[in-house]
Structure 1
Amino acid sequence: MSASVSLFASENSWIETDAVAQCHHVAALDGMVHVAGMPDLHPGKGAPIGAAMRSSVLYPFLVGSDIGCGIAVFPIALKKPSPERLAARFPDLDVPLAPDADDPAWAFASRGKPVPAGYTEGLGTVGRGNHFVELARIGSIEDGAHAERLGLAAGALVLIVHSGSRGLGERILRAHTEVHGAGPAADPPAYLAAHDDAVRWGSLNRRLLAARVALALGAEPAEPIVDECHNLVEVRDGHYLHRKGAAPGDGRDVLIAGTRGTPSFVVAAHAGADAGWSVAHGAGRKMSRADALRRGRAKHTVEELRRTPLGSLVVCGDRQLLFEEAPTAYKRIEQVIADLVAHGLATPVAVTVPVVTYKTADQPAEAPKRDRRRSWARP
Structure 2
Amino acid sequence: MSEPHTRATVSVFASPTSWIESGAVAQCEQVAAFDGMIHVAAMPDLHPGKGAPIGAAMTSSVLYPFLVGSDIGCGIAVFPVGLKRAVPEKLAARFPDLDRAPDPDDPAWTVLDGDVPAGHLDGLGTVGRGNHFVELARIETVFEPDHASRLGLTAGDLVLIVHSGSRGLGERILRAHTALHGAGPAPDPAAYLAAHDDAVRWGSLNRRLMAARVAHALGADHTEPIVDQCHNLVELRDGAYLHRKGAAPGDGTDVLVAGTRGTRSYLVAAHAGPAANHSVAHGAGRKMSRGDALRRGRAKHTVDELRRTPVGSLVVCGDRQLLFEEAPTAYKRIEQVIGDLVAHDLATPVATTVPLVTYKTADLAPAPARDRRRRRGRQ
Q: TM-score, normalised by structure 2?
A: 0.95
Matched, 1:34 2:39: yes
Matched, 1:114 2:115: yes
What corresponds to 1:143 in structure 2? 144
Q: Decide whether the 8 Å contact of 1:257 with 1:283 is kept in 2.
A: yes
Q: What CA deviation, in whole Å up to 9, does each residue of 1:65-99 have, x standing for no partner?
A: 0000000000001122000000000000000136x
Matched, 1:90 2:91: no
Matches within 5 A, 1:229-378: 229-365=230-366
The separation in 2 between residues aligned to 1:136 and 1:321, in whole angstroms, is: 21
What corresponds to 2:85 in structure 1? 80
CA RMSD of aligned residues (A): 1.2
Tell me, what secondary structure is at the counterpart of 2:210? helix
- The structural deviation recorded for 1:366 is 9.1
The separation in 2 between residues aligned to 1:27 and 1:318, in whole angstroms, is: 38
Q: Decide whether the 8 Å contact of 1:58 with 1:184 is kept in 2.
A: yes
The separation in 2 between residues aligned to 1:3 and 1:246, in whole angstroms, is: 19
The separation in 2 between residues aligned to 1:69 and 1:120, in whole angstroms, is: 17
Point out where structure 2 has 5 or more consecutive residues left out of the alignment.
1-5, 370-379
What corresponds to 1:123 in structure 2? 124
- The structural deviation recorded for 1:40 is 0.2
Tell me, what secondary structure is at the counterpart of 2:285? coil
- The structural deviation recorded for 1:144 is 1.2
Q: Decide whether the 8 Å contact of 1:97 with 1:122 is kept in 2.
A: no
The separation in 2 between residues aligned to 1:255 and 1:327, in whole angstroms, is: 17
Q: Decide whether the 8 Å contact of 1:26 with 1:32 is kept in 2.
A: yes
The separation in 2 between residues aligned to 1:149 and 1:364, in whole angstroms, is: 42
- The structural deviation recorded for 1:364 is 2.7
Tell me, what secondary structure is at the counterpart of 1:89? coil
What corresponds to 1:210 in structure 2? 211
What corresponds to 1:103 in structure 2? 106
- The structural deviation recorded for 1:309 is 1.0
- The structural deviation recorded for 1:145 is 1.6
Q: What CA deviation, in whole Å up to 9, does each residue of 1:215-246 have, x standing for no partner?
A: 00000000000000000000000000000000
The separation in 1 between residues aligned to 2:367 and 2:288, in whole angstroms, is: 32
- The structural deviation recorded for 1:163 is 0.2
What corresponds to 1:189 in structure 2? 190
The one-letter code of the counterpart of 1:364 is A
Q: What CA deviation, in whole Å up to 9, does each residue of 1:313-347 have, x standing for no partner?
A: 00000000000000000000000000000000000
The separation in 1 between residues aligned to 2:44 and 2:301, in whole angstroms, is: 28
What corresponds to 2:24 in structure 1? 19
Q: What CA deviation, in whole Å up to 9, does each residue of 1:242-277 have, x standing for no partner?
A: 000000000000000000000000000000001010
- The structural deviation recorded for 1:367 is 11
Tell me, what secondary structure is at the counterpart of 2:146? helix
The one-letter code of the counterpart of 2:361 is T
The separation in 2 between residues aligned to 1:316 and 1:87, in whole angstroms, is: 10
Counterpart selection for 2:55 from 47, 50, 57: 50
Q: Decide whether the 8 Å contact of 1:185 with 1:191 is kept in 2.
A: yes
The one-letter code of the counterpart of 2:21 is E
Q: TM-score, normalised by structure 1?
A: 0.95
What corresponds to 2:372 in structure 1? none
Q: Decide whether the 8 Å contact of 1:68 with 1:164 is kept in 2.
A: yes
The one-letter code of the counterpart of 2:142 is I
What corresponds to 1:64 in structure 2? 69
Q: Decide whether the 8 Å contact of 1:230 with 1:245 is kept in 2.
A: yes
